[in-house]
Amino acid sequence: MGTNTNTRQDTKTEVPGEIKVINMYSDIAIVGGGTAGCFAAVTIKEASPDTSVLIVEKAHVKRSGCLAAGVNAINAYLNPGETPYSYLEYVKKDSAGLVREDLVLSIGQRLNRVAEKLEAWGLPFIKDEFGRYKARGKRNVEIVGEAIKPVIAAAVEKSGAKVLNRTAATNYIAENGRVTGVYAFSAREKTFYIISAKAVICAAGGAAGIYRPNNDGSARHKMWYCPFNVGTGLAMGLRAGAEMTTFEMRFIALRIKDVISPTGTVAQGAGTRQINAQGEVYQKRYENNSTPLRTYAVVEENKAGRGPCYLDFTHLLDSDNNRLKEAYLNMSPGMVLKWADDGTEPNGKPVEVCTSEPYIVGGHGQAGYWVDEYRKSTVDGLFAAGDVAGGAPKKYVTGCFAEGEIAAQAAMEYIKLKPETQVDEEESKRELARVFQPLSLSEGITPDEYEERLQKIMDEYAGGISTDYELCESKLTVARDLLLRLQHDVGQNMFAFDMHELIKAHEVVDRILVARVLVEHLLYRQETRWKSYQERVDYPGRDDSRWFKFVNSVYDNQTGSILIKERPGRAGELS
Amino acid sequence: MTVYIDRSICNGCGSMTEPRCAEVCPGDLLYRDTDNKCSVRDHRDCWDCASCIKECPRQAIEIRLPVQVGGRGSALKAKSFKDRIVWSLTKPDGSVEMFDIVTKNDLKER
């Protein structure tokens, strides 16, 4: 190998000892201890205390994933006047008409009940003068949510569900086309887990880090979406042959510049104006005010020389400043540091906004597993809920709870009919070898180096920040070829010098697979349905006659090929 | 750099199997070093979620913004109680602002 390789001698580290193998059994295994996974676990234990439940969590349920820092609003809740049907209409309109109506409605029917459950678990909700949850908009309520993860984790512990923290899932155990468990490894020692289960619920996160982020180097993880959510749940499904949907509807967030903090806290219900550098309320220039168009508008204002763009809430009173700082401390504390470093108070000057790198998520966007109304994937024994479940955008925290509940109920029904499981010894040996291979090499390329390569390819050829998210066939085919080569090289040369690096190594493997499938989705949809999220400059118009349909994909893990298939746009339509 | 550990205060959580900051970090970025105090594996990988500063029983950890994104030395520390959290924000001029925020409902009300 060339001079740019890293050797075990350079790093002076190795992980001593033999690999320990631990076999476990749980009636139902859950991948990921976030909102959907924890709610699924509690749902099962409350309905059926004798059913064993095991959550496999890469970090620690108390502070893992998207909600580690907390959240200061519930963004899917039906305030007085709203119904599950009006929620569906909103989601559909915001998503250019193409959503799975059955999935969105089933979420809408559960939103308020699951929110009340979160309050009963001990999370404070702010109340209005009538004692109702304090509305921030039609479908939002304010909460004091710094402790949302510890509160959820306590509910899981009380339920009797078991949690395997610091354990990274790597693949499903497959037996004759049925998923019968999960392979995983410990972040702390050379331990490989073979977890048999009659049913598996995937409730892992979406994917950040596919594209080059807003900040680099010392600030590379100052991003909105959790940088430790890398699409492993999606990659596991792909390798098991599960059908995926709508990866091409990427989610690009409008966020506060530099700290990439959420904007809803200051933009909603506060009379805030979105203005460009000339003080003009620019959104009226664009065809609508949908979520994708708010991102698109900022990109266009900047391209036209009218940037930067700002959120102007300088009309707020000095007495509001403390409330806003507390709201950010409960969700994104970097924003409070930003105001302090800028020497200003929240109402002191407008805050500049920017657009994030594209994320692949099912909670804001609709990328994820293709599931039926019970959240069963196309693979027997495998269910999906939350950020990995596709077709139902804008589900947010409460929607993830709702899907966790639906998947849990379906999994409980499913296991009644299923016999005990078996593990194919050859398959588990192959997986063990694959998992620990980066530790066995004596020299190679680090996960960081490959991650940078992936992000550069995606940024430049697949519509990242530096190219204003614009997509065209000629560049996407370059991305396709480069990703295929990268996937090959990573399989040969990636090197991990300790258990933490081994986790990162698998994160890169999983992200590259998600990126490859994403590029095929982006190539296939020859129209522009969601400006900025999915903007084909070679097919600039929306074409309902040809493209009112879902673009789905199935990966073949033997050949590495990706099959794209269409599903009718009316799939799941309510009669 | 974002997470700063004051090694004169940190005791690596003594006899605990794992330091509390290391237990909760969503990015697995903290660990007990050879001198039995906590270290950060890679500052670049910190998300600024502040889980570690809330968990530290000795308030040995603070977060600051990286210079790249305009960090000028402001620092956040936190002390967690059963149902509230007290933050202290130190600004570049040395002044300190405190925030006392409820985190859990009074369980008796449920």
In eight-state DSSP terms, residue A218 is G
Helices (H), A273-317: 291-303
Name the residue among A68, A151, A337 with its Cβ closest to that of B76: A337
**A329 has a chain B CB within 8 A of its CB:** yes
Q: Does A342 touch chain B (CB under 8 A)?
A: yes
CB pairs under 8 A between A and B: 146
Chain center to CA of A571: 23
Contact yes or no for A221 and B104 at CB 8 A? no
* B17, B32, B69, B98: best to mutate for the A interface, most A CBs within 10 A: B69
Contact B65 A338 (CB under 8 A): yes
Q: Cβ A62–B24 below 8 Å, yes or no?
A: yes
> Distance between CA atoms of A163 and A465, rounded to whole angstroms?
38
pLDDT bracket for residue B109 (50, 70, 90): very low
Does residue A326 belong to the interface with chain B, where contact is any CB pair within 8 Å? yes
A53 closest CA partner among A502, A404, A529, A417: A404
Which of A407, A214, A511 lies closest to B66, judged by CA?
A214
For A399, left (φ over 0), alpha (ψ -120 to 50), or beta?
alpha
Contacts of A501 (CB under 8 A, 6+ apart): A438, A446, A447
pLDDT digits (tens, 9 = 90+) for A432-481: 999 999 999 889 999 999 999 999 999 999 999 999 999 999 999 999 99
Q: Which amino acid is at A259?
A: V
Chain A residues within an 8 Å CB radius of B99: 322, 325-326, 329
- C-beta atoms of B110 and A122 within 8 A: yes
- The length of chain A in residues reads 575
Chain B residues within 8 A of A337 when measuring between CB atoms: 63-65, 71, 74-76, 89
pLDDT of residue A261: 95
Give the H/E segment covering residue A326. helix A318-329
Biggest alpha carbon–alpha carbon distance for chain A: 70
Cβ neighbours of A146 in B, within 8 Å: 85, 101, 103
Number of CB atoms found within 10 A of residue A442's CB: 10
Give ipTM to 2 decimals: 0.97
Taking an 8 Å cut-off on Cβ atoms, the answer to whether B69 and A259 are in contact is: yes
Q: What is the pLDDT of residues A24-78, one digit of tens each?
A: 999 999 999 999 999 999 999 999 999 999 999 999 999 999 999 999 999 999 9
Residue of B nearest to A256 (CA): B69
Cis peptide before A227 (omega within 30 of 0): no
CB distance from A509 to chain B under 8 Å?
A: no
Q: Is the dihedral of CA A348, A349, A355, A357 positive or negative?
A: negative
> Cβ of A68 and B107 within 8 Å?
no
Cα R_g (chain A), whole angstroms: 23
The whole-angstrom separation of Cα A30 and Cα A4 is: 40
Question: pLDDT tens, B5-53?
Answer: 999 999 999 989 999 999 999 999 999 999 999 999 999 999 999 999 9
* Among candidates B45, B72, B104 on the partner chain, residue whose Cβ is nearest the Cβ of A122: B104
**Token pair of B101 as six digits:** 């925020």
pTM value is 0.97
- Judge whether A323 is closer than 8 Å to chain B, CB to CB: no
Please say whether the beta carbons of A505 and A21 come within 8 A: no
Residue A242: count other Cβ atoms within 10 Å of its Cβ: 25
Q: What are the residue ranges of helices labelled H in A109-195?
A: 111-120, 148-159
Distance CA B105, CA A123 (A): 6
Extract the tokens encoding A70: 């907390």
User: Contact A330/B101 with Cβ under 8 angstroms?
Assistant: yes
Measured CA to CA, the distance from residue A297 to residue A354 in angstroms comes to: 11
pLDDT in tens, chain A (575 residues): 444 567 655 554 556 678 999 999 999 999 999 999 999 999 999 999 999 999 999 999 999 999 999 999 999 999 999 999 999 999 999 999 999 999 999 999 999 999 999 999 999 999 999 999 999 989 999 999 999 999 999 999 999 999 999 999 999 999 888 999 999 999 999 999 999 999 999 999 999 999 999 999 999 999 999 999 999 999 999 999 999 999 999 999 999 999 999 998 888 877 899 999 999 999 999 999 999 999 999 999 999 999 999 999 999 999 999 999 999 999 999 999 999 999 999 999 999 999 999 999 999 999 999 999 999 999 999 999 999 999 999 999 999 999 999 999 999 999 998 877 888 899 999 999 999 999 998 899 999 999 999 999 999 999 999 999 999 999 999 999 999 999 999 999 999 999 999 999 999 999 999 999 999 999 999 999 999 999 999 999 999 999 999 999 999 999 999 999 999 999 888 87
Q: Which residue of A has its CA nearest to B85?
A: A146
Q: Which two tokens stand for residue A139?
A: 């479908």
Nearest-CA distance from A206 to chain B in Å? Answer: 15
